[in-house]
């Protein structure tokens, strides 16, 4: 108990715990739509497109968080636009955008003469470096995101399960799809400092996939995914501090462990 109290007495640990809880709720909540719509490759492309945003931010001398969000949103809208206007498959367009963003980011960084250590925070994540401003941003974005998805939950789900039927019923499919792409882009980019570009998609997908293994209805899916996300964040953070391991990978490995535990349900029933 004394060790736990001492652990929680540090302000940076308190901020990290709050961040892990908020992102542990936000990412899986949005991740349910990613899993149900089979958009894992899209979310991965968006997270890696943020790399080009980081490079652009370093080149222009602006805030890296802002530049990564702007570029991620532009790439998300570009993917949506090309999917709508061309005959190419969705995966092909995502692959082109994915490779283009990575190449552009590497090219820009290669042109820079100065060394920027803070880029590694975004690449690999560092939840212990979270600031009060970061917490406020995550809270505001999280609250607005969840409120938006809950307000328009019915059309989002209708588009997810039957896009053509939703169109026939008068739902503005194009608007809600662009809105979902926008939400995914923003949620991915504000989570980079916690999990990192390489692993942020995992926190979107894995808790939602684990919940899908157990949930019997949509309410259960959303509740379980958020619960698994919070558990992954808290346990992963505490384990990373105790064992002196990187926080991002540890959190993701905990979530994957939960996923494999959920696979035991059908085995036990047999």
Domain assignment present for 269: no
**pLDDT > 70 fraction of the chain, expressed in percent and rounded:** 92
Whether 163 is in a domain gets the answer yes
Domain range for residue 131? 13-262
User: Domain for residue 6, yes or no?
Assistant: no
Give the total number of structural domains in the chain: 1
Q: How far apart are CA 116 and CA 157, in angstroms?
A: 42
Q: What is the pLDDT at residue 199?
A: 83
**Residue 65 has what pLDDT?**
82
Instruction: Write the pLDDT tens digit of every residue in 156-188.
Output: 999 988 888 888 888 999 999 999 999 999 999
Residue 52 to residues 56, 65, 123, 141, 193: CA-CA distances in angstroms? 6, 12, 11, 22, 15
Question: 86 phi and psi, to 5 degrees?
Answer: -120, 170
For helices 173-190 and 132-151, the axis angle rounded to 10 degrees is 160
Range with lowest mean pLDDT among 25-29, 96-100, 152-156, 219-223: 96-100
Band of pLDDT at residue 23, cut at 50, 70 and 90: very high
The domain that holds 49 is classified in CATH as 1.10.3470.10
Give a yes or no: residue 217 inside a domain: yes
Q: How many CB atoms are located within 10 Å of the residue 223 CB?
A: 14
In a domain, 109, yes or no: yes
Is residue 8 in a domain? no
pLDDT given for residue 21 in this prediction: 93
- Span 104-143, pLDDT tens digits: 888 888 887 765 666 777 777 778 788 898 899 999 999 9
In a domain, 267, yes or no: no
pLDDT tier, 1 (very low <50, low <70, confident <90, very high otherwise): low
- Which DSSP string do the residues of 149-208 spell out, in sequence order? HHHTHHHHHHHHH-HHHHHHTT--HHHHHHHHHHHHHHHHHHTHHHH-TTTHHHHHHHHH
Phi, psi (rounded to 5 degrees) for 172 = -75, 85
Does residue 46 form part of some domain? Answer: yes
């Amino acid at each position: 108990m004394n060790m736990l109290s001492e652990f929680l007495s540090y302000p940076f640990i308190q901020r990290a715990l709050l961040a892990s809880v908020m992102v542990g709720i936000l990412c899986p909540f949005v991740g349910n739509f990613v899993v149900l719509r089979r958009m894992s490759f899209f979310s991965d492309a968006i997270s890696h497109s943020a790399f080009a945003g980081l490079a652009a931010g370093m080149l222009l001398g602006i805030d890296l968080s802002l530049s990564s969000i702007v570029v991620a949103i532009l790439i998300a809208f570009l993917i949506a636009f090309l999917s709508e206007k061309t005959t190419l498959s969705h995966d092909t367009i995502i692959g082109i955008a994915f490779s283009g963003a990575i190449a552009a980011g590497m090219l820009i960084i290669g042109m820079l003469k100065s060394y920027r250590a803070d880029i590694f925070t975004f690449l690999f994540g560092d939840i212990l470096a979270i600031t009060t401003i970061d917490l406020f941003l995550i809270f505001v974005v999280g609250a607005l995101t969840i409120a938006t998805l809950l307000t328009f939950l019915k059309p989002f789900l209708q588009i997810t399960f039957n896009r053509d039927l939703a169109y026939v019923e008068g739902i503005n499919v194009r608007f809600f799809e662009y809105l979902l792409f926008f939400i995914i882009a923003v949620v991915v980019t504000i989570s980079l400092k916690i999990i990192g570009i390489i692993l942020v998609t995992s926190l979107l997908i894995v808790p939602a996939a684990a919940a899908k293994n157990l949930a019997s209805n949509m309410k259960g899916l959303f509740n379980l995914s958020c619960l698994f996300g919070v558990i992954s964040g808290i346990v992963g953070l505490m384990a990373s501090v105790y064992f002196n391991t990187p926080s991002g990978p540890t959190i993701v490995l905990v979530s994957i462990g939960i996923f494999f535990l959920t696979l035991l349900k059908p085995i036990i029933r047999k």
